[in-house]
């Protein structure tokens, strides 16, 4: 098996980084994997001491084939740091595994990532391997994996062929908002305001590289491989990150179903279990927003009406 290089992106959370490194080292494939740790500059001057401690944790890490620590202090946004690091690695490698410092991984995370990367390396229909899932798809077939049309930013992998795309965000946004059905599907059947994230990126320079990536994959009908249950714990829901200012509890224990191999899909198409994935997504939204189902429904209806009024034009409701 070929082992893809790993890139970790960190800044001012030394304890989070330490926990991620410890969990990653428990993967048997770690000793065959090159690790690159990119550390960005803080958004606020008061955080420099935490950045220095994060660098110290990174420099003391061990347990991998090789370790390179790079500081990118000129980069103070998550999107900027990730794009810089991923582009750098993919200049010399054909694939990459990407982690942020607030994650913890299961013992078979690297096995799953490398198995998927090797299996689908030449299939242009597949653009990402995701280590995240909002719930458990099958209680029986723990080794199963699925294709969903949804990328995730929490523990993922990709190939140079998929990442090095050329696109125009304004043009892709114009295409998206030309049809109501496209907008609905892009918003996961109106379960999440992905369209609003793209609007914020364009108008407010919102730090959401993953929303832009998702739009590109969505327009080009690309697929993402997902595990049966999450191989990731995201500790960024503790309020320490840039995008989730309040804390909430979500799956703080990894479901212990470590595999010796994963069963990859034979058919390259959206798996029938996608609706179950969306069910778990709705539960996560309700938990993260800390609102009742009735209030979320009201917000969804209001949002849909506003967006449809904003983008209506002749032919808006016709076709795909």
Q: Do residues 227 and 98 lie in contact, with contact meaning Cβ atoms separated by under 8 Å?
A: no
Q: Please give the Cα distance from 258 to 198 (Å, whole number).
A: 36
Q: Please give the Cα distance from 161 to 122 (Å, whole number).
A: 9
Each residue of 10-39: pLDDT tens digit?
999 999 999 999 999 999 999 999 999 999
Q: Please give the Cα distance from 207 to 243 (Å, whole number).
A: 8
In three state form, how does the secondary structure of 247-276 look?
A: CCCCCCCCCCCCCCCCECCCCCCCCCCHHH
Of the listed ranges 71-85, 205-219, 263-277, the one predicted with least confidence: 71-85
pLDDT in the model for residue 244:
46
Of the listed ranges 71-80, 188-197, 237-246, the one predicted with least confidence: 237-246
pLDDT in the model for residue 58:
97
Of the listed ranges 84-93, 134-143, 160-169, 230-239, the one predicted with least confidence: 230-239
Candidates 250, 261, 69, 223; CA nearest to 146 is 223
Mean pLDDT within 131-139 = 92
Averaged pLDDT score across all residues of the chain:
91
Mean pLDDT within 219-246 = 79
pLDDT in the model for residue 256:
74
pTM listed for this prediction:
0.93
Each residue of 280-301: pLDDT tens digit?
988 888 877 777 778 888 888 9
Residue 170 has a CB neighbour count (10 Å cut-off) of 9
**Percent of the chain predicted with pLDDT > 70:** 94
Residue 152 has a CB neighbour count (10 Å cut-off) of 21
Model confidence at 257: pLDDT above 80? no
* Ramachandran region, residue 63 (left: φ > 0; alpha: ψ -120 to 50; beta: rest): left
Mean pLDDT within 137-159 = 95
pLDDT in the model for residue 284:
84
State phi, psi for 134 to the nearest 5 degrees: -80, -15
| pLDDT band at residue 241 using 50, 70 and 90 as cut-offs | low
Angle at 172 between CA 288 and CA 184, to 5 degrees: 45
| pLDDT band at residue 238 using 50, 70 and 90 as cut-offs | low
| Cα–Cα distances in angstroms (integers) from residue 42 to residues 9, 46, 155, 192, in the given order | 13, 8, 22, 29
State phi, psi for 240 to the nearest 5 degrees: -85, -10
Query: What strands lie across the sheet with 34-40, from one edge to the other?
Result: 66-72, 34-40, 6-10, 95-100, 156-159, 126-130, 223-227, 145-148
| pLDDT band at residue 251 using 50, 70 and 90 as cut-offs | low
Residue 157 has a CB neighbour count (10 Å cut-off) of 24
Model confidence at 248: pLDDT above 70? no
């Amino acid at each position: 098996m070929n082992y893809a290089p790993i890139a970790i992106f960190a800044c001012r959370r030394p304890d989070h980084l330490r926990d991620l490194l410890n969990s990653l080292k428990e993967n048997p494939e770690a000793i065959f994997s090159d690790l690159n740790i990119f550390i960005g500059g803080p958004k606020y001057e008061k955080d420099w001491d935490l950045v220095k401690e994060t660098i110290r944790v990174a420099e003391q890490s061990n347990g991998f084939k090789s370790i390179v620590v790079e500081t990118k202090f000129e980069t103070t946004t998550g999107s900027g740091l990730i794009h810089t690091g991923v582009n750098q690695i993919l200049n010399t490698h054909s694939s990459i595994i990407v982690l942020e410092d607030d994650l913890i991984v299961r013992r078979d995370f690297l096995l799953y990532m490398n198995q998927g990367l090797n299996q689908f390396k030449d299939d242009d229909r597949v653009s990402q391997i995701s280590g995240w899932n909002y719930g458990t798809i099958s209680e029986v077939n723990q080794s199963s994996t699925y294709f969903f049309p949804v990328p995730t930013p929490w523990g993922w992998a990709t190939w140079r062929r998929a990442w090095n795309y050329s696109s125009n965000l304004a043009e892709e946004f114009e295409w998206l908002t030309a049809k109501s059905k496209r907008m609905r599907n892009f918003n996961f059947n109106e379960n999440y305001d992905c369209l609003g994230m793209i609007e914020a990126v364009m108008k407010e320079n919102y730090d959401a590289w993953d929303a832009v990536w998702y739009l590109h994959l969505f327009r080009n009908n690309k697929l993402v491989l997902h595990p049966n249950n999450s191989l990731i714990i995201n500790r960024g829901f503790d309020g320490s990150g840039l995008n989730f200012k309040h804390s909430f509890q979500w799956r703080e224990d990894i479901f212990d179903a470590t595999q010796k191999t994963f069963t990859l899909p034979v058919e390259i198409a959206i798996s029938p279990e996608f609706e179950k994935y969306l069910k778990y997504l709705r539960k996560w939204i309700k938990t993260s927003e800390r609102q009742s189902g009735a209030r979320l429904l009201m917000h969804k209806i209001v949002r849909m009406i506003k967006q449809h009024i904003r983008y209506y034009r002749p032919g808006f409701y016709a076709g795909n």
